């Protein structure tokens, strides 16, 4: 198949002075808050800098808020980021370069960019692999062999992706494999990760946790 684009821990106690900093070079994290539960992603800017920058721009702009998972195929993937619940396709920025030749594989739990049959056509739509999809990996730079760019992975909520994968689907808005019940992305936000905590204290402390464009054949996946 191919993918087509459719359309912390804190220290607390008496007299504590704490400062939280981010680890240099730490990977950005994004949480998709869906009606089925949260899915948290770790992104790999070292492997797919253009793709990660593009995805984060859409996140920061609030683009994904109110979009749905519009294409779900059991034992394959779940795809979203392009349509609202009226099946209206959202306007996007220009397409980006395909960075599929970055060594990352379309393994279960990874996130990759959807696109049309044109290699450099990905915009905002993405998919999460629910199984290992080796047929989507980079093989060579040809139009048929370039594959689909993986740019991160699910670190929390893969069980949510699995639940979405099992939703009943049908034809809607001229597209196949559309969930019969809307799976809405209510918001997509960067997750703040506290990588290091330092503290000066005058008393005992304890650690606590904070709290498509085109529809291609079934053997293909398009943006």
**In a domain? residue 214:** no
Higher-pLDDT residue of 147 and 9 is: 147
The pLDDT score that the predictor gives to residue 192 is 82
User: Is residue 221 situated within a structural domain?
Assistant: no
The domain total for the chain is: 1
**What is the arithmetic mean of pLDDT over 48-53?**
98
213 lies in some domain: no
CATH assignment at residue 135: 2.40.100.10
Give the dihedral of Cα atoms 133, 135, 139, 141; nearest 10 deg: -110
Per-residue pLDDT of 74-111, as tens digits, reads 999 999 999 999 999 999 999 999 999 999 999 999 99
Among residues 145, 188, 165, 171, the alpha carbon closest in space to that of 32 is found at 188
Nearest CA to 93 out of 102, 84, 82 is that of: 82
Placement of tokens 């060579």 in the chain: 140
Q: Which domain holds residue 102?
A: 9-203
Predicted pLDDT at 204: 38
Query: CA–CA separation, 140 vs 5, rounded Å?
Result: 21
Let me know if residue 220 belongs to a domain: no
Average pLDDT over residues 175-180: 97
pTM, 2 dp: 0.80
For residue 28, being part of any structural domain is answered with yes
Residue 143 belongs to a domain = yes
What pLDDT does 187 receive? 98
**Token match 């290699």: residue?**
119
163 occurs within a structural domain: yes
Determine the average pLDDT of the residues in 37-61.
98
Please indicate, yes or no, if residue 3 is contained in any of the structural domains.
no
Q: What is the mean pLDDT of the chain?
A: 84
């Amino acid at each position: 198949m191919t993918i087509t684009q459719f359309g912390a821990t804190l220290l607390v106690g008496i007299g504590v002075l704490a400062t939280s900093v981010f680890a240099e070079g730490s990977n950005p994290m994004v949480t998709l808050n869906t009606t089925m539960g949260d899915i948290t992603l770790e992104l790999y800017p070292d492997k797919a800098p253009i793709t990660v920058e593009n995805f984060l721009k859409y996140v920061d702009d609030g683009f994904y808020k109110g979009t749905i998972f519009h294409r779900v195929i059991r034992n394959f993937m779940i795809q979203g980021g392009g349509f609202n619940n009226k099946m209206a396709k959202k306007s996007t920025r220009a397409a980006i370069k395909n960075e599929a030749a970055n060594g990352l594989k379309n393994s279960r739990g990874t996130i990759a960019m959807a696109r049309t049959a044109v290699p450099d056509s990905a915009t905002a739509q993405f998919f999460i692999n629910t199984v290992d999809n080796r047929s989507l990996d980079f093989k060579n730079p040809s139009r048929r062999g370039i594959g689909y760019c993986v740019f991160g992975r699910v670190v929390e909520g893969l069980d949510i992706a699995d639940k979405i994968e099992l939703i009943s689907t049908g034809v809607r808005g001229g597209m196949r494999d559309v969930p019969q019940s809307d799976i809405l992305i209510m918001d997509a936000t960067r997750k703040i990760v506290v990588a290091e905590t330092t503290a000066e204290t005058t008393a005992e402390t304890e650690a606590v946790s904070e709290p498509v464009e085109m529809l291609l054949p079934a053997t293909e996946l398009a943006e």
